[in-house]
Structure 1
Amino acid sequence: MKILFIGARLFDDIALYTKNKNITSILTESNSDSKNLKLADVSYIVPRGMEGPKEIALKEDVDAVVPLIGIDKPLVEIAKLKEDLENNYGLPVVASPLEAVITAQDKLKTKEFFIENKIKTPDFSKISKGFKPELPVVLKKPEGQGGNGIKIALTDSDLEINIDNFECAIAEKFVEGIEVSIEVLRWNGKTVPLVPVNKGKTTFEGIHPLDKLKTVPLNMKNVDNENIRSIAQKIANLLGSEGVIDIDIILDKDGVAHFIEINTRPSGTRYLTSASTNISPMHELVDMATGKWNYKDVETRIKKYCALEIPIGDYNTENNNHQFREFNSDNCWVIHGPDKFQRITIRAEDIQKAYEVAEKLNIDYKKFN
């Protein structure tokens, strides 16, 4: 079996898995300095865009293509490549189709999708001259991720200063509560929602979840985790997503779920998902490509561990490499992320034991509470 992987940045998440499965890995990347290039059996440096990966896919006569893209901008191009390779060459590409990507990337289209399908989402309005929303309000440009293109206006002055930069944008009601993400696997019309992840409280400062302490499971009064999973499954089915998607939610003080965004790409919470469920979304993408993915098998393999993730900056250990990226026991931990932005994800039988592991590793988690 030979698979083309597009993008080296996330390849270390699956390098060991492909090797253990005797899969020949072909990797394309536009950055010649990527340290993950050496992890693949064969690697190619190509220009930005999808022409290079397409050329290599056909040249190498691969059996499938798996884009490993963690940012939004290239996703439309990937969806167009998917259409081309699947329709004209019969080559499966494990990624969401074009219509799903366009709906997810455009925040206004996402809002319209939620409303059309009666999925609860915060009230919003299109920004127009002279509009006066109820404050605080979240200003969102049509595209952007990781906090880019978003501004929280707390006062009339905030609104006045920022409004000119948000032409053709939306103003969304600020919901005070808990940020949540859930990853959903979908392939060949079969869907498996995984686990809701607690990413911490919403903040007026718009602190990115990567800079917060995150936990699984989502233990909140009046919150039904299975209901969240059910709605996430409904969203993936209606969207027609493929591969893996990540859905962002805010739970208000009454435990009501407000659905915010959809990301048709691997999630930043994938290690928490893997630690808590024993299902690695990245590994599942490989299984989809090989034709061995079975949703019933995934459902039977789902475990219910607790997990804790803490930003640690830099942690002096040899364990931050692809050889140590598996959760292989009941109480274990994984270091991941680039230099200066490392995180530790801890699996444990209960959340208190996860905190105890952090203490034994001399990791200060209390500053995030």
Structure 2
Amino acid sequence: MKLLFIGARLFDDVALYTKKMGITTVLTESNPQALNLDLADSHHIVPRGMELPKEIALKEDVDGVVPLIGIDGPLIDVALLKEDLETNHGLPVVASPLDAVSISGDKIKTKEFLLENNIKTLDYTVIDSNQKNQRLELNNFPLVLKQRQGQGGKDIKITLSVEDVHKYLEHYDGALVEKFLDGIEISVEILRWKGHSVPLVPVYKGNTTLDCIHPLNKIKKAPLAADGVNSHEHNQAIRMIAQKIGDLIGVEGSADLDLIFDKVNRKTYVLEINTRPSGTRYLTAASSDINPLHEMVDMATGSWDTNSVRERIKEYYALEIPVGDYISNRNSYKFREFHGENDWIIHGPENYQRITIRGKNKEDAFRTAKQLKLNL
């Protein structure tokens, strides 16, 4: 079995697994200085775009293609590559199709999709620089302004006044506007392949803040526990929402759903759909024992089975803590799998490292954090 992987940045998360499974790996990457190139059996430096990866996939006679792309920009090109290779060459590409990417990559289209399917999402309006005061009464603040494309908090601004809105629109032609909620940020990953889906564990990503602190800089936990609601029922409801959306939009591979829980009215709203590997994948793996990227490998090899995934799901408690830089010889692909009931993994680039901890329960996870001398 031979697989082509597109993108080196996340390859260290699958390198150990592919070696264990006896899979020959071919890697393409546009950055010659990228990490992880030597972890593959062979690699090719290619220009940006999907033309050369396609040629290499066909020349190398691989059995499947796994794009390991964690950013939105190339996803349309990946979807077009998928359509070509699957339709014309019978070669599976573990990524979402064009329709799903077109909706998920545009926040306005996402809103329209959610409303058309009666899925709870925050009320919104769209303004442009010539209509700065449209539906912006002073008592509506704070408001969240977003661009229709973008990820990771990019181009998002929480505004406290009309003047703030005006300043934002000095840099943009318009904005999608939502009410700011005092709430909890949530993610849940969805695995889906050939019409079959498995939603995984909802992850607590921290409270919303007026200064737009990104979840990567917060302590995150799984499974989700929100005050004032039954955690099991709440998590199951979120998983069912994720499965419904995954099936309706037709995602494939690994995708994730961003939601927000309103602390005041105790309601959960869907914010975004991301048709790419999630930044919460380590928490998912720690708490459920299901590694989404490993599952993508199984999809490419034809061995993925939803019943097997459901049977393998376990229930642990997980913590993820940003550490900046943490001296350890475990930040390596050789230590990227959790073992047993209590374990920890360090991951991430220099200055942005995080430690994800698995515990049999909450007490065990916090005990490990204390032993590692982490600030909680």
* Contact in 2 for aligned 1:4/1:27 (Cα 8 Å): yes
Range with bigger deviation, 280-289 or 216-225: 216-225
RMSD of equivalent CA atoms: 0.9
Which of 344, 357, 363 aligns to 2:374? It is 363
Q: Which amino acid aligns with 2:367?
A: E
1:140-195: CA deviation from partner (whole Å, max 9, x where unpaired): 10100001121111122211211233324311111210000000000010010000
Letter in 1 for 2:158: I
- Deviation per CA, 1:14-50, whole angstroms, max 9, x where unpaired? 0000000000000000011112000000100000110
Partner of 1:309: 320
- Cα separation, 2, equivalents of 1:180 and 1:231: 13
Structure 1: which 5+ residue stretches go unaligned?
Answer: none
Q: Return the alpha-carbon distance in structure 2 between the equivalents of residues 33 and 150 of structure 1.
A: 31
Look up the match of 2:125. 125
Whether contact under 8 Å (1:222, 1:255) holds in the other structure is yes
Please tell me whether residue 169 in structure 1 is matched to residue 172 in structure 2. Answer: no
Poorly superposed stretches of 4+, deviation over 4 Å: none
Q: CA deviation at 1:104?
A: 0.2
Distance 2:68 2:77 in 1: 13
AA partner of residue 186 (structure 1) = R
SS in 2 for 1:276: helix
Structure 2 residue 252 is the aligned partner of structure 1 residue 242:
yes
1:212-231 mapped onto 2 (5 Å cutoff):
212-220=218-226, 221-223=228-230, 224-231=234-241
Match of 1:326 in 2: 337
Cα distance per residue 1:298-325 (max 9 Å; x no partner): 0011001000000001111100000001
Q: For the residues of structure 1 that align with 2:336 and 2:208, how far apart are their CA atoms?
A: 29
Deviation sequence 1:42-91 (CA, Å, 0-9, x none): 10000011011011101101010000000000000000010111111111
The residue number in structure 2 matching 1:142 is 148
Partner of 2:48: 48
Paired AA for residue 350 in structure 1: N
Q: Secondary structure at the match of 1:127?
A: strand
CA distance in 1, matches of 2:155, 2:249: 24
**Aligned match for 2:352, one of 337, 341, 346:** 341
**TM-score of the pair, normalised by structure 2:** 0.96
Residues 199-229 of structure 1, C-alpha deviation per residue, up to 9 Å, x if partnerless?
0000111111000000011122225110110
Query: Are positions 1:178 and 2:184 aligned together?
Result: yes
Whether 2:107 is the aligned partner of 1:104: answer no
Map of 1:165-314 to 2, 5 A cutoff? 165-220=171-226, 221-223=228-230, 224-253=234-263, 254-314=265-325
Tell me how far apart the structure 1 counterparts of residues 78 and 266 of structure 2 sit (CA, whole Å): 37
Instruction: After TM superposition, give the deviation of residue 10 of structure 1 in Å.
Output: 0.1
| Structure 2, gaps ≥5 residues long | none
Check whether the contact 1:142–1:168 (CA below 8 A) recurs between aligned residues: no
Cα offset, 1:132, TM superposition? 3.5
Correspondence for 1:158:
164
Kindly indicate whether the alpha-carbon contact (under 8 Å) linking 1:121 and 1:259 is maintained by their aligned counterparts in 2. Answer: yes
- Report if aligned partners of 1:184, 1:191 keep a CA contact under 8 Å in 2: yes
SS at match of 2:93: coil
Identity of aligned residues (%): 58
Secondary structure of 1:330's partner?
coil
Equivalent residue pairs, number: 365
TM-score normalised by structure 1 residue count: 0.97
The amino acid of 2:237's aligned partner reads N
1:73 equivalenced with 2:73 (yes/no):
yes
